[in-house]
Amino acid sequence: MYESFLIKDIKKFFTMKYMKLGTKPDTFYTEEAVRSVLSDVPADLIIHVNNTKYQLHKFPILLKCGLLQRLCSDTDADGDGDDAAPVPVALHDIPGGEEAFELCAKFCYGISINIGAGNFVAAALAARFLRMTEAVAKGNLVAKLDSFFESCILQGWKDPIAALMAAWRISGWSESRIVQPCVDAIVEKILMPPSKVTWSYTYTRPGYAKKAHQSVPKDWWTEDVSELDIDVFRSLLSTVRAARLLPPPLIGEALHVYACKHLPDPLNHATANANGGLHGGQTSSSAAAEQRRVLETIVTMIPGDAGAVTGRFLLRLLRVANFVGASPSTRAQLVRQAGAQLDEAKAADLLVPMPSDPLAYDVGAAEAVLEHFLALFQRPAPPDERRRMSAAMEKVARTFDEYLRTIALHADFPVGKFVDLAECLPEIARNNHDGLYHAIDTYLKEHPELSKADKKRLCRMIDCRKLSPDVRAQAISNDRMPLRTIVQLLFVEQERAMGAGGASGSNSAVAPDAIAMLAARNKEKDDEPPAPAADHKSDVHRPRGDHGERARADGAAMTRSLSASTTKTAGAAAAAPRTAESRGSRMRNK
């Protein structure tokens, strides 16, 4: 496995083009921080490039460098003749710095050099700066580099990408003679049908290499172009979109690959960087600024077509936007788009870490996304769209209940806010309350210090008739459930049993035991002092009057009613055989 991986990488490496110039061995050496050429002829030309000093010879250098010819001629005119000491020449502003100048100097000496996409841009800009053109000498460096650029670099795939990256680092958009041809060459290859792709490309999707693929994937180009600077990437993708030959989801996949490479998910890094933040250290502000620039650019490029990007990707961008402090307009756009595709999300996608505390979650962001989804649900729509939105609402309800269950694990999450979140969904959204029950049960388990009033307030949101039989049975035996909730569950259980054609023997046996348990719990709760009411901005779930007296009265009434109902059902079941026997006796007497 490891050997094949190396061979694959080496193969990709050698698909890039290289040009070799010169035949002489490299005779440059460094002595006391001075770069010199091994020669019997003493140096008569001193050149300073930034912090490096070069001791060279006029004879080979001036033959090919028009700029140095002019500078040295001016120096000779100002000197006292041939015996004058060489005057240093400063070339601090040469593009590419010392490395680029040394390539040009070695070319003048005939020393062997290799030119590839990685160093082509620096060499080409330095050669033009030194005026190494055909007007100065035939077969000069500029002409050779231009020929290599046209015939080799632009014809490959990774070569123009590498050249474009180098040009952007050195001069940005100013060097249009290199940047624009590279962009055009890359776009041309992206727009080609995948069946015509014959060059090497990078594709590391999980599981892809394990299959025997007969064709090139449609998104074969996305990983390689993700190496570009965001401004270059935007220009490239805008040109691709203008051609209207690729579907919007393919454009969205390119954005997804770029974002995954340059924007770490705060959810994955929250624990590891809880103390230093996502970026950590002194580079946090600069890194955040760069990620904010990348994020806001990506958001502006998201296609407006339905399905161009996934809802999960939009929520990931929202997490990053919240963490790096993106502009309000960027966050608002992400909330709108994520809300429209909320049915595609999972519970973990709604977890938005706080910038100040990566281990805490911003529930306001998730609430805003849900509110936008609900606003779309309430709009008038054709029947087909209404059916689609109803199915989407069921998915969102299940996802949001799972999200509530995760939020409930935080010991410092206030009960009032939990109730507000749970009530964000309308009653019609939850056809099943199993998820809501598990979320509330998790909250009760993680917050054992809750008062009786708060427990009732939480459990009042559960519709016992919307619980599945298994969950209902679990809730009846759950000590964390309030007495009133368990009594309601027993009523529902009794109603279902009676509706199924009479209570079975097992149900008749379970009910008295449950009633005895409730009576014992009710007596224990009577002995407890009433807990203070919870402070919360909304009292919609807070019962009025004497909480303890009213709860005990309701519980006792429900227990008596349940006992009477159970006795009545059991009596009816016992009387049925006697009635049948009496009727048989009368028939025999007749």
Strand, coil or helix: what is 97?
A: helix
What pLDDT band is residue 85 in, cutting at 50, 70 and 90? Answer: confident
What pLDDT band is residue 560 in, cutting at 50, 70 and 90? Answer: very low
Please check whether residues 370 and 461 belong to one and the same domain: no
The single-letter code of the amino acid at 130 is L
Comparing 212-216, 306-310, 426-430, 546-550, which segment has the lowest mean pLDDT? 546-550
C-alpha pair distances (Å), 125 with each of 89, 97, 398: 19, 10, 60
Round to whole Å and give the CA distance between 287 and 278.
9
What average pLDDT does range 117-140 have in this prediction?
A: 96
Tokens of 497: 């049993």
Decide if 160 is inside a domain: no
Round to whole Å and give the CA distance between 587 and 590.
5
Please check whether residues 141 and 39 belong to one and the same domain: yes
Please, are residues 193 and 150 in contact by the beta-carbon 8 Å criterion? no
Decide if 59 is inside a domain: yes
Q: What DSSP element (H or E) covers 418? A: helix 415-422
Please check whether residues 404 and 434 belong to one and the same domain: yes
The pTM is what? 0.80
Q: Which of 379, 408, 437 is at the close of a domain?
A: 379
Indicate the pairing of strand 18-21 with strand 52-56: unpaired
The predicted structure's pLDDT at residue 578: 44
pLDDT of 60 above 60: yes
Decide if 546 is inside a domain: no
What average pLDDT does range 241-250 have in this prediction?
A: 96
Decide if 13 is inside a domain: yes
Please check whether residues 28 and 141 belong to one and the same domain: yes
Comparing 5-19, 215-229, 344-358, which segment has the lowest mean pLDDT? 5-19
Tokens of 249: 């989801």
Q: How far is CA 70 from the centre of its chain?
A: 56
Decide if 430 is inside a domain: yes
Please, are residues 133 and 66 in contact by the beta-carbon 8 Å criterion? yes
Comparing 183-192, 206-215, 581-590, which segment has the lowest mean pLDDT? 581-590
Decide if 565 is inside a domain: no
Please check whether residues 331 and 413 belong to one and the same domain: no
Please check whether residues 355 and 485 belong to one and the same domain: no
Comparing 81-90, 404-413, 422-431, which segment has the lowest mean pLDDT? 81-90
The predicted structure's pLDDT at residue 210: 47
What pLDDT band is residue 251 in, cutting at 50, 70 and 90? Answer: very high
Tokens of 556: 């006792």
What average pLDDT does range 212-224 have in this prediction?
A: 85
The residue among 384, 465, 399 whose CA lies nearest residue 429 is: 399
Round to whole Å and give the CA distance between 299 and 331.
9
Q: Which DSSP state fits 45? A: E
Please check whether residues 15 and 95 belong to one and the same domain: yes
Which domain does 25 fall in, by range?
1-155
pLDDT of 184 above 90: yes
The CA dihedral of 293, 343, 267, 222, to the nearest 10 degrees, is -50
The predicted structure's pLDDT at residue 568: 44
What average pLDDT does range 369-379 have in this prediction?
A: 95
Comparing 166-180, 410-424, 556-570, which segment has the lowest mean pLDDT? 556-570
The predicted structure's pLDDT at residue 31: 92
What pLDDT band is residue 501 in, cutting at 50, 70 and 90? Answer: low
pLDDT of 141 above 90: yes
The sign of the dihedral angle between the CA atoms of 366, 367, 373, 376 is negative
Number of domain units in the chain: 3
What average pLDDT does range 538-544 have in this prediction?
A: 33
Please check whether residues 3 and 111 belong to one and the same domain: yes
∠ CA 412-414-417, rounded to 5°:
140
pLDDT of 213 above 60: no
Round to whole Å and give the CA distance between 409 and 447.
9
The predicted structure's pLDDT at residue 513: 55
Q: At 102, which CATH number?
A: 3.30.710.10
Decide if 419 is inside a domain: yes
Please check whether residues 294 and 148 belong to one and the same domain: no
What average pLDDT does range 51-79 have in this prediction?
A: 87
Q: How far is CA 67 from the centre of its chain?
A: 51
Average pLDDT value for the chain: 83
pLDDT digits (tens, 9 = 90+) for 443-495: 999 999 999 999 999 999 999 999 999 999 999 999 999 999 999 999 999 98
The predicted structure's pLDDT at residue 273: 52
Q: How far is CA 426 from the centre of its chain?
A: 29
Query: Does 209 or 92 have the greater pLDDT score?
Result: 92
What pLDDT band is residue 76 in, cutting at 50, 70 and 90? Answer: low
pLDDT of 158 above 50: yes
What pLDDT band is residue 270 in, cutting at 50, 70 and 90? Answer: low
Please, are residues 400 and 367 in contact by the beta-carbon 8 Å criterion? no
The residue among 471, 239, 483, 273 whose CA lies nearest residue 358 is: 273
pLDDT of 524 above 60: no
Strand, coil or helix: what is 194?
A: helix
What average pLDDT does range 22-41 have in this prediction?
A: 94
Q: Which of 352, 379, 406 is at the close of a domain?
A: 379
- Provide the β-strand partners of residue 470: none
Please check whether residues 135 and 26 belong to one and the same domain: yes
Decide if 66 is inside a domain: yes
What pLDDT band is residue 173 in, cutting at 50, 70 and 90? Answer: confident
Q: Which of 379, 413, 448 is at the close of a domain?
A: 379
pLDDT of 520 above 70: no
Indicate the pairing of strand 52-56 with strand 34-37: parallel
Please check whether residues 366 and 410 belong to one and the same domain: no
The predicted structure's pLDDT at residue 577: 40
pLDDT of 78 above 80: no
Q: How far is CA 505 from the centre of its chain?
A: 55
Please check whether residues 374 and 406 belong to one and the same domain: no
- Provide the β-strand partners of residue 353: 361
Round to whole Å and give the CA distance between 450 and 426.
26
